[in-house]
Structure 1
């Protein structure tokens, strides 16, 4: 591929990430009104936006440094899109807190997504630990902290997807004992850290 073609493709991917993130943020606001109760929490959870960011960045297949920037941008745009939908309905949603959270967390999610396909199994293990840990952490939070007001179906599904990613990576790529240990222990540590941070923020 010629450099000009590669650059053009990269900016096309950037444009797609921007548009998809903003529109997804808008959609999650309205999704709270039409999603079934069993999975309604998708539209009002960190894991929902994280999943959108991971999927769009996995599609974009950009380098880690670029993925870090796009990860932050995706989270901020999701927040702004949600706020825009609220305003369209005559409501007010202040996006500043979660925009800041997105700027802080988004780069790590972006890098982790890029590292899933890295040649280095250590990077792949670290990326797996972060993404699986986020999903497992929120799944645990949902089942233990907001179980009285939300359906357990979504939180269980999030946990299963997180563990599915971990198991799939262990089977396909992370076969060394130390590498596998990093992924497993890292997942648990990330899940614990997620719960501490989420409790500090008061959830969503």
Structure 2
């Protein structure tokens, strides 16, 4: 399982570096999006047989995506700053296990844990979409960010309909989504300052 996480992470990290040049303008943010990286970690972790393996898989995917991205950019002549490496490395180590465990909970549990797992990944997608519209819509395609928000909302609705019963659990999923989205916008909008301090 961990071999799959490492291989997927490295391959997609390299593709991310090149995708920034290859993708059309309307899809260009896909190659530079935390949402797509988070979904990759989440989807790979869905395959994990146990919670601990899922958490480790989520972290492994994100760390290896960062490694693949940095190595590919280095080979293309685009070095990465130490601040970028520390910031995104810390994000991978903190968010990766949470995404992985959330995927495991969503697949294998109902109720509170499923609400936290589904709400977490939905919140990342919606939060980054809101950030994109608020801060970088003038330099990227707003339709991409709206699309990411819709994907996050559809995912939340599907999880709520299939895994979150009674209604109090669905409310917890919605509150988790909102909390993660707000935290994401706050952290991401201050990310440049944090990187410059590292």
TM-score (norm 2): 0.91
Deviation digits for residues 28-52 of structure 1, max 9, x if unmatched? 0000001111110011111121121
Tell me the equivalent position of 1:16: 4
Deviations 1:118-177 (A, max 9, x none): 233211011111111110000111111111110012111111111111100111121312
**Structure 1 residue 96 displacement after superposition:** 3.0
2:107 aligns to what SS in structure 1?
Answer: coil
Alignment match, 1:157 = 147
Give structure 2 stretches of 5+ with no counterpart: none
Match among 58, 62, 66 for residue 75 of structure 1 = 62
Aligned residue number for residue 44 of structure 1: 32
TM-score when normalising by structure 1: 0.89
Q: Give the superposition deviation at 1:67.
A: 1.2
Q: Which runs of structure 2 are paired with 1:70-109 in the superposition (5 Å)?
A: 70-94=57-81, 95-109=85-99
Cα pair 1:63 1:114 within 8 Å, conserved: yes
Q: Distance in 2 between matches of 1:139 and 1:62?
A: 31
User: Which of the two has higher C-alpha Rg?
Assistant: 1
Q: Structure 1 residue runs of 4+, over 3 Å off?
A: none
Give the SS at the match of 2:190.
helix
Q: Distance in 1 between matches of 2:70 and 2:35?
A: 18
